[in-house]
């Protein structure tokens, strides 16, 4: 804008200067020419008077021309007879000159009886001249005076030079003054433009000042601009805060979360998902498909299904993570914003619940199997009895004994399962009471004496004085003792030993050790024998009437009293079961 105003002013000024200069020049030039004519006329009149006074022609011409000089050059005087013959010329030889009757100035002087004037090139001198001629009827002569046109012209040429210099100087002055003035006027606009640029580049703190100072028409504009910048800065700040907040929330979410587009391109991955899949890429920096993160084609299928149904879709998938393959419940929910279909994928770790589920169904299968085995046997023998064996008393008695044993095992199994589920339900024992542990151990030894002596096994309780009175449910502790000691007897060699130690540990817990002299337990089985229905040797265990739940019950009771149960054993060197109880 500055430039356009500048150019416009410049054009106006140039036109004005040229117009005024030109008109001044022409006025002065015509004035100048009038002066020259009067000058020549005066000279001619003087010569005419001198001639009328009777002065000789040469004298008169010389005198006058010596007086009328311009720029050191005398004027030319020519006397011409009415017939056109030149009678005198002070610049050249008159006899040599041609007839002048038809020269324009002479013709005009003869015809009008007034002064004739002409400006033309002299044929005699060969240069541009100004001529003036007057006719005197008394002398019957035409007096002509002339000067060189160059001299005439140099007069107004110098004027022209002056004019041009003045015009040039004033133009320069105007350029400078105009520029400064314009800059002063447009300064607020320039500032506004710069401020707008700053805002565009993201500096929302900029404000314009000079617009407001001078109370001009631009003040309102300045105020409006500042208000806009303030508003913009507030909006941007609010947006940034909201963005940061959303970012922090999404990234702090413990649930892995990914947003993907219809094209399967990833739009957003929260930090948890980045860590889980060990892929730390920013979707704002680069384009990549979902499968690069999840490594599971089904996650992309979920996106398609979710967008097709326009409703959340969920599926259980085994996905490779930094912690190895794990089970996830992957849910895809559609979201829609700015006209684009996106899908939020969330990943819920269900490995643990799947594991639990597996354990539960395994347990049910085991229980069913364990219950069916004695039942099948019982039914088999009953069937045999029905088909006639009942009539053979010896056989029938033996069968009834077997049925009794199996029924007993069934009973034992069911009561074990009940005990186990009862203990599992409990978080702490509410039936705690003080009782004498030594007495209880003695009771158990007496109780199991029959089985032990039948296999010639000796039981050796070694009791520490510090571990006599304990606070627990005597019923449960008895269960632990029976299970451990019975096992130690059953899985022992004939004539072996079962040692029972109790002592108080430094951490205040009670340690119960039951050591046998049996075949020992292989390392890979040591952990597993505490699992439900786990048997090292299935057939042998059944033969011995075990339910497969004994050690599991021991372990759970130990846990109920804030303790642990473990085994130390080497093949061929017996086994030691160690139970720690906070009682």
Question: Under the rule (CB under 8 A), what is the footprint of other proteins?
Answer: 265, 278-282, 285-289, 291-292, 295-296, 320, 324-325
Residue 284 makes CB contacts below 8 A (sequence gap 6+) with: none
CB nearer other proteins, residue 262 or residue 540: 262
d(CA 446, CA 441): 9
Give the shortest CB-335-to-other proteins separation in angstroms. 22
CB nearer other proteins, residue 76 or residue 296: 296
Give the shortest CB-294-to-other proteins separation in angstroms. 9
Whether the CB-CB separation of 311 and 334 falls below 8 Å is answered with yes
CB nearer other proteins, residue 291 or residue 395: 291
Give the shortest CB-322-to-other proteins separation in angstroms. 10
Give the shortest CB-244-to-other proteins separation in angstroms. 23
Give the shortest CB-274-to-other proteins separation in angstroms. 12
Integer Rg of the chain from CA? 67
Whether the CB-CB separation of 547 and 413 falls below 8 Å is answered with yes
Give the shortest CB-324-to-other proteins separation in angstroms. 6
For residue 121, the SS3 value is strand
Whether the CB-CB separation of 205 and 216 falls below 8 Å is answered with no
CB nearer other proteins, residue 324 or residue 393: 324
> From the DSSP assignment, how many helices (H) and strands (E) are in the chain?
16, 19
Give the shortest CB-233-to-other proteins separation in angstroms. 33
CB nearer other proteins, residue 292 or residue 418: 292
Strand partners, 142: 80, 135
CB nearer other proteins, residue 3 or residue 280: 280
**Which residue matches tokens 């642990």?**
564
DSSP 75: P
Positive or negative: CA dihedral 271, 297, 329, 342: positive
CB nearer other proteins, residue 136 or residue 300: 300
Q: Count of CB atoms within 10 A of residue 212's CB?
A: 18
CB nearer other proteins, residue 36 or residue 299: 299
CB nearer other proteins, residue 166 or residue 292: 292
Tell me which residue of 112, 110, 121, 111 sits closest to 144, measured CA to CA: 110
- CA 509, 512, 517 angle in degrees (round to 5)? 155
d(CA 563, CA 557): 8
d(CA 548, CA 546): 6
Whether the CB-CB separation of 516 and 497 falls below 8 Å is answered with yes
CB nearer other proteins, residue 267 or residue 445: 267
CB nearer other proteins, residue 295 or residue 455: 295
Percent of the chain as helix, strand, coil, to the nearest 5: 55, 20, 25
Tell me which residue of 171, 127, 125, 133 sits closest to 149, measured CA to CA: 127
CB nearer other proteins, residue 263 or residue 454: 263
For residue 118, the SS3 value is strand
In the Cβ-directed half-sphere of 442, how many Cα atoms lie within 13 Å? 6
Give the shortest CB-347-to-other proteins separation in angstroms. 16
d(CA 90, CA 94): 8
Give the shortest CB-286-to-other proteins separation in angstroms. 4
Give the shortest CB-515-to-other proteins separation in angstroms. 31
DSSP 359: H
CB nearer other proteins, residue 297 or residue 359: 297
Tell me which residue of 479, 477, 459 sits closest to 469, measured CA to CA: 477
Give the shortest CB-268-to-other proteins separation in angstroms. 16
Whether the CB-CB separation of 350 and 255 falls below 8 Å is answered with no
d(CA 567, CA 553): 15
The CA distances from residue 553 to 101, 175, 413, 507, 518, in Å, are 162, 109, 12, 24, 21
């Amino acid at each position: 804008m500055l430039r356009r105003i500048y150019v416009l002013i410049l054009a106006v000024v140039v036109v004005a200067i040229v117009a005024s200069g030109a008109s001044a020049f022409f006025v002065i030039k015509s004035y100048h020419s009038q002066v020259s004519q009067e000058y020549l006329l005066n000279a001619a009149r003087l010569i005419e008077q001198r001639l009328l006074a009777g002065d000789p022609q040469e004298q008169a011409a010389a005198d006058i021309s010596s007086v009328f000089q311009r720029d050191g050059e005398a004027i030319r005087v020519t006397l011409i007879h009415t017939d056109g013959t030149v009678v005198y010329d002070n610049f050249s030889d008159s006899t040599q000159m041609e007839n002048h009757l038809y020269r324009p100035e002479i013709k005009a002087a003869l015809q009008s009886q007034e002064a004739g004037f002409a400006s033309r090139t002299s044929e005699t001198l060969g240069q541009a001249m100004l001529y003036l001629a007057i006719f005197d009827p008394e002398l019957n002569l035409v007096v002509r005076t002339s000067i060189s046109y160059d001299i005439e012209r140099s007069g107004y040429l110098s004027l022209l030079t002056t004019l041009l210099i003045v015009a040039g100087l004033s133009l320069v002055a105007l350029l400078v003054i105009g520029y400064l003035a314009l800059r002063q006027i447009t300064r607020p606009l320039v500032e506004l433009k710069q401020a707008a640029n700053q805002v565009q580049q993201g500096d929302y703190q900029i404000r314009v000042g000079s617009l407001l100072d001078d109370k001009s028409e631009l003040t309102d504009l300045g105020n409006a601009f500042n208000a806009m910048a303030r508003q913009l800065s507030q909006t941007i700040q609010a947006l940034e805060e909201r963005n940061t907040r959303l970012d922090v929330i999404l990234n702090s979410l413990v649930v892995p979360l990914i947003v993907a587009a219809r094209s399967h391109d990833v739009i957003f991955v929260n930090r948890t998902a980045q860590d889980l899949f060990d892929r730390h890429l920013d979707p704002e920096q680069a384009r990549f498909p979902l499968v690069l993160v999840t490594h599971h084609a089904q996650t992309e299928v979920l996106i398609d299904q979710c967008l097709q149904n326009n409703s959340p879709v969920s599926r259980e998938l085994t996905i490779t993570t930094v912690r190895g393959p794990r089970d996830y419940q992957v849910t895809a929910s559609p979201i829609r914003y700015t006209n684009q279909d996106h899908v939020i994928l969330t990943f819920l770790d269900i490995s643990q619940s799947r594991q639990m589920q597996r354990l539960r169904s395994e347990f049910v299968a085991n229980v069913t199997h364990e219950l069916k085995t004695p039942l099948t046997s019982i039914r088999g023998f009953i069937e045999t009895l029905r088909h006639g064996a009942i009539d053979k008393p010896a056989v029938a008695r033996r069968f009834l004994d077997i049925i009794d044993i199996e029924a007993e095992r069934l009973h034992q199994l069911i009561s074990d399962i009940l005990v186990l589920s009862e203990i599992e339900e409990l978080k702490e024992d509410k039936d705690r009471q003080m009782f004498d542990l030594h007495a209880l151990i003695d009771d158990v030894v007496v109780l199991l004496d029959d089985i032990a002596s039948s296999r010639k096994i000796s039981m050796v309780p070694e009791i520490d004085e510090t571990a006599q009175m304990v606070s627990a449910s005597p019923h449960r502790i008895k269960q632990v003792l029976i299970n451990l000691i019975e096992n130690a007897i059953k899985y022992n060699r004939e004539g072996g030993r079962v040692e029972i130690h109790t002592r108080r540990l430094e951490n205040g817990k009670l340690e119960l050790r039951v050591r046998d002299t049996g075949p020992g337990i292989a390392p890979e089985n040591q952990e597993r024998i505490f699992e439900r229905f786990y048997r090292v040797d299935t057939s042998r265990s059944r033969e011995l009437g075990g339910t497969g739940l004994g050690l599991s019950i021991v372990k759970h009771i130990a846990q109920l009293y804030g303790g642990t149960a473990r085994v130390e054993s080497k093949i061929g060197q017996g086994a030691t079961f160690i139970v720690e109880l906070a009682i």
